[in-house]
Chains A and B, each alone.
Chain A
Amino acid sequence: MRPGEKEALFVSWLKRNSGGKRLSVCVAKLRHLGLEEGTLSSFPSGGISIQRQYGERFVCLEDRRWADELAKAYDVKVLHHAQHFKLKEELL
């Protein structure tokens, strides 16, 4: 599956969180972006990994260059004023 904009947002979010975050928080972020937990397994192999340490599972960004390319492809690497935010219209 080719990662879309939401997947790019998730990967960029993970990268800006020092490249690792607890699985429970990652699942919350996936829900926030409107993605399912299964999205984690849909990423290309070597992109991210799930590691268990001290009884907790962490999602780690393994291929940071890939994350960079994905972020650039969807223009979510750095915030700039020329960008248009896609608002959740139904909430407003």
Chain B
Amino acid sequence: MNIDVIKKCSDMVVKMKPREGSGRAVEGMADIPFEGLFGNLSQQRVLQELAADPYSTYTPRDLTELTELTEPTVREAVAALVRLGIVRNISRRKMRPVYQVNSDSKRMVALMFLSYATLDDKCGEDHLGDAVKYYYETTHSSYLEFEPLGVAVSMGESYQDIAGRSFSADQRYVVAAVGV
């Protein structure tokens, strides 16, 4: 990425004035996307809103109300997300767009996990681990032909069988050698 662009973005973050009220919000209630991990740019506000509820559909007006941004800013941010393939316009009417998260986008799933990770870091809990487990159970368990735990147990048993047989063979060898 161009260094000038990075510098410009960081300047924007530094110069950004906190909104009245939210800027003074106490720790733990700061109203900034992903707890400020990516700064507070308008596109990220929209992205966090979509990651927080990817199941709903959104008009630009919905996103304006939820992000408290202006409608032109929201339209610009959503257009960028559409170009990135994270969001798609599902409306047939050109003048009345309705946006929906692209359910095939793994980045959106990752952002949902990031939401849980943000909460975990804040509260010292393990919602991320729970979410990953749930995701695995709902999407990937049917693709596997075996259960990893089952394989581990059967491998353990096999190992014990082999070790047991080896031990009894050793005993027989000792008995034969000593002639007892």
List A residues at the B interface (Cβ < 8 Å).
9, 12-13, 15-22, 25, 28-29, 31-33, 53-56, 58, 60, 64, 68, 72, 75-83, 85-88, 91-92
Contact = CB atoms under 8 A, between A and B. Distances in A.
Given A12-B53, A87-B100, A92-B91, 9 more contacts: A15-B127, A16-B112, A16-B115, A29-B66, A32-B62, A33-B56, A53-B26, A80-B103, A85-B103
6 contacts: A54-B21, A64-B119, A75-B138, A77-B134, A79-B112, A91-B57
Contact of A72 (B100, B104, B109, B134): B134
Contacts, number: 120
Contact of A92 (B92, B103, B130): B92
A68 B53 contact: no
B122 A78 contact: no
Interface stretch (B27-35, B75-83, B156-164, B168-176): B27-35
A92 B90 contact: yes
B135 A78 contact: yes
B146 to A, nearest CB: 21
A85 B57 contact: yes
Given A54-B24, A83-B103, A92-B91, A17 B65 contact: no
B85 to A, nearest CB: 14
Contacts of B103: 79-81, 83, 85
B138 A78 contact: yes
Contacts of B58: 32
A32 B90 contact: no
A55 B29 CA distance: 13
B66 A25 contact: yes
Contact of A15 (B98, B119, B135): B119
A82 B56 contact: no
Contacts of B92: 92
Nearest to A22: B31
Contacts of B134: 72, 77-78
Contacts of A17: 48, 52, 115
B66 A68 contact: no
B119 A19 contact: yes
Contacts of A79: 54-55, 101, 103, 108-109, 112
Interface string B103-130: 1100011001101101100110101001
Contacts of B7: none
